[in-house]
């Protein structure tokens, strides 16, 4: 518990001070955000606000985690290194995207295929290492399981066959990991459209995963006081709690400067990184489908975009006149165009995130109670 508190506090403090430093430096360098021309007119006043603030979040997480491990005298785990790989790797993809927006004055940043290549390399690299037998601990548990999971693993083992079946199962498992990592990183990227919206929402969801990891650590298999039927076969849950606290702390520190009116934006550097590591938490804590509930806000944002695009194309094909379900997507812009203030939309979406998390944690705990 001491390491968890240290990690969160150090990351928060470092983010609070580091983000302020980033605002000053990025402003001097002219790292200003380009604003989409078809967006709400109220956003045009934000043009030129420093971006790439996600750099401060990522560095704060890394510093917070390793400082806590150093102060407590514990060695970092393979699970933590995998999550940090996702965080830093996807941040690098986002940084290139932000760099293009700033220096080439192209609001769309990287071409879609270029961004997908970067996301794929990070996601597949993470997945391949996470299921590799070389990372098995003394109990034979790898960081990622070869089964699907909701709160516990279920269904067939993807790596349970021999020969060609083993390799086909492994390939299918990597595809699932790829969908989760790229899908969640794109979902958080879509959510990052209002001052403070993604920073606070992410802090809430990562706080939930910190709680889940603490519980899994206390109820992990192999502890003398824990019954076999109720235990969790998760590798390094304590380290996931330490890292989850660091990410929550870093997001809160960043929120101090990102709250409306934002002094800095996290950019794709931060949004892609947060989404990818969130998927990593779901995979390594064996709660893959639970992420749909805990990250319900991100699912809602993505679903709205998918519905909007699908109906636009379908209505154009059927009637010749394209139609929209929402006034604009991502859906937070829809509510802005209905006349809601940006702050109102943001706070109500924070409330929704809290409700999704409360439901997810309730289901997680209820499942454990049912196994007693």
Neighbours of 154 (CB within 10 A): 11
Query: What DSSP string describes 201-257?
Result: HHHHHHHHHHHHHHHHHHTBTT-TTS-GGG-B--S-HHHHHHHHHHHHHHHHHHHHH
User: Is the pLDDT score of 264 beyond 90?
Assistant: yes
**Cβ-contact 230, 368 below 8 angstroms:** yes
- Residue with the bigger pLDDT between 294 and 36: it is 294
CA atoms within 13 Å, Cβ hemisphere of 143: 25
Per-residue pLDDT reduced to its tens digit, 172-219: 999 999 999 999 999 999 999 899 999 999 999 999 999 999 999 999
User: Which of 11-15, 162-166, 365-369 has maximum average pLDDT?
Assistant: 11-15
Banded model confidence at residue 40, pLDDT cuts 50, 70, 90: low
Which residues lie across from 154 on neighbouring strands? 148
- Cβ neighbours of 321 (radius 10 Å): 7
Q: pLDDT by residue (tens digit) across 124-179?
A: 999 999 999 999 988 889 999 999 999 999 989 999 888 899 999 999 999 999 99
**Residues above pLDDT 70, as percent of the chain:** 94
The phi and psi torsions of 123 (rounded to 5 degrees) equal -65, -45
> What is the pLDDT of the chain when averaged over all its residues?
91
Residue 29: the pLDDT is 79
Q: For residue 223, what pLDDT is reported?
A: 77
- Asked if residue 36 has pLDDT above 60, the reply is no
Residue 189 among known ligand-binding residues: yes
Span 273-296, mean pLDDT? 97
217 is in an annotated binding site: no
Tokens of 237: 């849950």
Band of residue 84 on the pLDDT scale cut at 50, 70, 90: very high
The answer to whether 255 and 266 have CB atoms below 8 angstroms apart is no
Q: Are 284 and 142 in contact (CB under 8 A)?
A: no
Does position 92 have pLDDT exceeding 60, yes or no?
yes
Q: Which of 169, 178, 203 is nearest to 188 (CA)?
A: 203
The dihedrals phi and psi of 130, each to the nearest 5 degrees, come to -65, -25
SS3 annotation, 335-365:
HHHCCCCHHHHHHHHHHHHHHHHHHHHHHHH
Q: What share of the chain in percent tops pLDDT 90?
A: 75
DSSP tag of 40? -
Burial class from Cβ neighbours inside 10 Å (0-12, 13-18, 19+) for residue 103 reads exposed
C-alpha separations of 87 from 84, 120, 309, 359 in Å: 5, 14, 29, 26
Q: Given a cut of 60, is residue 42 above it in pLDDT?
A: no
35-54: b (≥16 Cβ within 10 Å) or e: beeeebeebeebeebbbbbb
- Containing 153, the helix (H) or strand (E) segment is strand 153-154
Range in 132-146, 225-239, 331-345 the model is least confident about? 225-239
Give the pLDDT mean for 61-75: 96
Cα gap 336→328, rounded to integer Å: 9
- Residue 307: the pLDDT is 94
Report the pLDDT value the prediction gives residue 370, as an integer from 0 to 100: 87
**Average pLDDT value for residue range 309-317:** 91
More reliable by pLDDT, 201 or 316: 201
């Amino acid at each position: 518990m001491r390491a968890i508190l240290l990690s969160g506090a150090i990351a928060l403090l470092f983010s609070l001070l580091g983000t302020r430093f980033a605002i000053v430096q990025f402003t001097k360098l002219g790292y200003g955000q380009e604003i989409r021309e078809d967006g709400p007119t109220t956003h045009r006043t934000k043009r030129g606000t420093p971006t790439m603030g996600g750099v401060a979040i990522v560095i704060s997480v890394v510093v917070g985690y390793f400082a806590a491990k150093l102060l407590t005298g514990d060695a970092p785990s393979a699970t933590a290194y995998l999550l940090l790989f996702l965080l830093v790797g996807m941040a690098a993809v986002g940084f290139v995207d932000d760099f293009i927006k700033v220096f080439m004055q192209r609001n769309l940043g990287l071409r879609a295929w270029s961004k997908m290549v970067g996301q794929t390399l990070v996601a597949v690299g993470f997945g391949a290492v996470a299921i590799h037998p070389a990372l098995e601990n003394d109990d034979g548990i790898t960081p990622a399981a070869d089964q699907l999971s909701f709160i516990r693993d279920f269904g067939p083992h993807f790596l349970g066959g021999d020969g060609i079946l083993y390799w086909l199962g492994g390939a299918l498992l990597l595809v699932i990991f790829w969908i989760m990592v790229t899908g969640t990183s794109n979902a958080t990227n879509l959510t990052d459209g209002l001052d403070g919206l993604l920073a606070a929402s992410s802090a809430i969801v990562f706080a939930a995963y910190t709680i889940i990891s603490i519980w899994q650590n206390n109820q992990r298999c192999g502890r003398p006081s824990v019954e076999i039927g109720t235990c969790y076969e998760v590798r390094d849950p304590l380290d996931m709690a330490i890292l989850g606290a660091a990410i929550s702390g870093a997001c809160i520190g960043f929120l101090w400067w990102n709250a409306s009116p934002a002094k800095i934006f996290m950019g794709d550097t931060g949004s892609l990184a947060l989404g990818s590591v969130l998927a990593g938490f779901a995979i390594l804590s064996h709660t893959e489908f639970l992420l749909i509930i805990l990250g319900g806000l991100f699912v809602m944002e993505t679903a709205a975009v998918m519905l909007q695009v699908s109906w636009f194309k379908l209505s154009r094909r059927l009637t010749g006149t394209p139609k929209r379900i929402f006034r604009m997507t991502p859906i937070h812009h829809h509510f802005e165009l209905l006349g809601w203030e940006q702050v109102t939309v943001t706070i109500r979406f924070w409330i929704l995130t809290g409700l999704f998390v409360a439901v997810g944690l309730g289901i997680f705990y209820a499942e454990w109670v049912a196994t007693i």
